[in-house]
Amino acid sequence: MHVYLNGRILPEKEASVSVFDHGFLYGDGIYETMRVYDGVVFKLNEHIGRLYRSASLIGLRIPYNTEGIKAAVCKTIIANGFRNAYLRMTVSRGHGDIGLDPALCPEPTVVIISRELREYPAEYYKKGISVIIAKTRRNLMQAIDPRIKSLNFLNNILAKMEAKKLGAYEAIMLNVDKKIAEGTISNVFFTIDGMLCTPSVSCGILDGITRGIIIDLAKKRGIRVREGRFKKEDIYSADEVFITNTTMEVMPVSSVDERQYSVGGMAKLLRGLYRAEVKAYAADIRSKGEAI
């Protein structure tokens, strides 16, 4: 595997970051995860836009313009030769003396990693995955703005550890007000009497790109959508539950704690619509000659 590091494509073993990098020392940095479908990076502009938003919110200067980022992404994908890939771009504050002052770091560190995408097991989509409601609360949004896709992931890791201990695949976190927020790596959806429900961004969640697409697709299909503030009892009483993110797309949930669910028609419908959206997007990019 080859890694993009500060303008260079390097073999994995040669791609190293300083132990004085503030991303390593303090989790001071941001990232984006993207998915490549047969040489097309899905919603690349949206991911780049969110990367710049995260950078702006922590006062981090990204050393490339939009076209520079696109070129770096293309170089990384081509160097690895994967037509279908997982792509992660990380921008840290960079190398600097020990201390919290961002001014200690003269230049940010930019890393892009591309790995061949291995599809989630078909069984997961057929039967669903198990989920728990974690005891670990979502970070208070007044402390860390959830719009920042930050390298500081300890909050999510602690919730993931809870899930793993109980044999579950994912954990849903509540916020300080005991309202449903999000999963450790996902946004949460559920249905009640045909209405599609999902936590509002006011609950302290990251406004996932896949989440936004699913909401738009549902509304275009005439499905009632409610973005609100929900208690865990609301999800326990739901007809079906699913989670979303860039790589898993739409993943049905078979259980939340002790509550069991069938893989319902809403998840199947929206996954099909999402796949059609991906196909149409990829066709448009290819027609413009912008595929890799």
Q: What CATH code is carried by the domain that includes residue 243?
A: 3.20.10.10
**pTM greater than the 0.85 cutoff:** yes
State the pLDDT confidence band at 248, using cuts at 50, 70 and 90: very high
31 inside domain: yes
CA-CA distance, 23 to 17, in Å (whole number)?
A: 9
Helix axis angle, 66-80 to 44-57, nearest 10°: 120
226 inside domain: yes
Q: What CATH code is carried by the domain that includes residue 19?
A: 3.30.470.10
The residue out of 116, 147, 174 marking a domain boundary is 116
Summarised one tens digit per residue, pLDDT across range 167-216 is 999 999 999 999 999 999 999 999 999 999 999 999 999 999 999 999 99
Summarised one tens digit per residue, pLDDT across range 226-239 is 999 999 999 999 99
Residues recognised as catalytic:
149
Same domain, 251 and 138: yes
Helix, strand, or coil (residue 25):
helix
Q: According to the model, what pLDDT value does residue 15 have?
A: 95
Same domain, 101 and 132: no
Q: According to the model, what pLDDT value does residue 289 have?
A: 84
Summarised one tens digit per residue, pLDDT across range 68-125 is 999 999 999 999 999 999 999 999 999 999 999 999 999 999 999 999 998 899 999 9
